[in-house]
Structure 1
């Protein structure tokens, strides 16, 4: 199992870095976790959207889902340019082509259809059908479990200003958990319990006292220690400043004794079963 960081910025892209987006791959599955602005460009350097076996969106803030429309139009454009399979636009709507499974929080379909309708292409209406043709859209709820390739996915509710679920992935190649966006909650411990790699937001310098819902790096380290994870990767940063990032790494290391890494675009991490990493 392998984690590849596509984007790690909180909010909108900055300093050449895309917003939240990550790919977890095994021998039989490639799963995209979140798809914020800039993710489509970053993904294009390593894979085509049709190579993905699933996309999972933690929550419906724009910095975690906006580039879904770009990926959808990329998938649809590829179909329309294949004259052997799609000789006419009318035939394209009927051709059998496996859509990419897309998992979003309950209520996400309506929001994404509004996004697609905001940018119509009247001369090629097929390009407006990202969320009913390019993707096979599923709305999930907390505690839902589903399978992608050799991976078991479990959705864990966390605490954010919009409904957010962390994703736990278990496969014969290793185990992994991702928080999405959340303030501290005891529910983070079962999400991450004993995983081989824990990817967690570490947006803030101090604990969140607002209703928005974000973690600081010290809290991320505390969760990692309580859950006995093998490796910790911090992400969702407000800056690329090296001094600030090193300080957040040190914050996490004060409570968690295992390896602490900082996410960066293009950086990859091997994820191996606990016997091979602890």
Structure 2
């Protein structure tokens, strides 16, 4: 199993870095976790969207899902490259590749349809149909489980200003847990219990004093330690300043004594279960 960081910025892209987006790859599955602004460009450097077996969105803040429209239009525009296909565009059943399963929180489909309707392409109406042709939209609720390739996936309710679920992925090659966005909660422990890699937001310098719902690095380290995770990757940063980032890494290391990494675009992390080496 491999984790590739596509984007790691909190909020909107900055310093040449895309917002939240991560590619998880195994022998038989490629799963995109979140798809924030800039993710489509970053994804295009490592894979075509049609190569994805699933996209999972943790919650519907723009910095975690906005580029879904761009990815969808990329999938649909493949039909336009061959003029012979133009007469068949209205027929959704004839799209060249199957729709990519897209998992979003309950109620998400209606919000995505609004996003698509804001940018119509009157000359090619098919390009307005991302969320009924390019994607197979599947709404999930906390506690839901599903299978993608060789991966068993479970969704864990956490604590954010919009409904947010952490994603746990288990495969024969290794296991990974991703927080999305959340304040500290005991529910982080079952999400990350015993995983080979814990991908955790670390937005703040100090514990949160508002109700928005974010972690600081010290809390991420504490959750990783309590869960018995094997390694921790911090992400969702407010800055690319090296001094600030190194200080957050040190904060996490005070509680968690396994390897602590700082996410950055293009960085990859090999994930394997104890006693196995898939690198």
Q: Structure 1 residue 197 and structure 2 residue 197: aligned?
A: yes
Once residues 49 and 255 of structure 2 are traced to their aligned partners in structure 1, the CA distance between those partners, rounded to angstroms, is: 39
Q: Structure 1 residue 263 and structure 2 residue 273: aligned?
A: no
**Cα drift, residue 79 of structure 1:** 1.7
State the SS of the aligned residue for 1:180. coil
Runs of 4+ in 1 over 4 A off after TM superposition: 89-92
Q: CA RMSD in A?
A: 1.1
Deviations 1:72-92 (A, max 9, x none): 0000000222345x2414454
State the SS of the aligned residue for 1:78. helix
Once residues 260 and 89 of structure 2 are traced to their aligned partners in structure 1, the CA distance between those partners, rounded to angstroms, is: 53
Deviations 1:5-62 (A, max 9, x none): 0000000000000000000000000000000000000000010000000000000000
Q: Structure 1 residue 223 and structure 2 residue 223: aligned?
A: yes
Query: Where does structure 1 lack aligned partners over 5 or more consecutive residues?
Result: none
**Cα drift, residue 93 of structure 1:** 2.9
Once residues 159 and 225 of structure 1 are traced to their aligned partners in structure 2, the CA distance between those partners, rounded to angstroms, is: 19
Partner of 2:92: 93
Partner of 2:32: 32
Query: Where does structure 2 lack aligned partners over 5 or more consecutive residues?
Result: none
Deviations 1:212-239 (A, max 9, x none): 0000000000000000111000000000
Task: Please report the TM-score for the alignment, with normalisation by the length of structure 2.
Answer: 0.97
Once residues 250 and 276 of structure 1 are traced to their aligned partners in structure 2, the CA distance between those partners, rounded to angstroms, is: 29
Q: After superposition, where does 1:209-220 map in structure 2 within 5 Å?
A: 209-220=209-220
Partner of 2:244: 244
| 8 Å Cα contact 2:79-2:89 kept in structure 1 | no
**Cα drift, residue 176 of structure 1:** 0.4
| 8 Å Cα contact 2:5-2:21 kept in structure 1 | yes
Q: After superposition, where does 1:84-233 map in structure 2 within 5 Å?
A: 86-90=85-89, 92-96=91-95, 97-233=97-233
More off after superposition, 96-105 vs 140-149: 96-105
More off after superposition, 245-254 vs 73-82: 73-82
Q: Structure 1 residue 42 and structure 2 residue 25: aligned?
A: no
Task: Please report the TM-score for the alignment, with normalisation by the length of structure 1.
Answer: 0.97
Partner of 1:72: 72
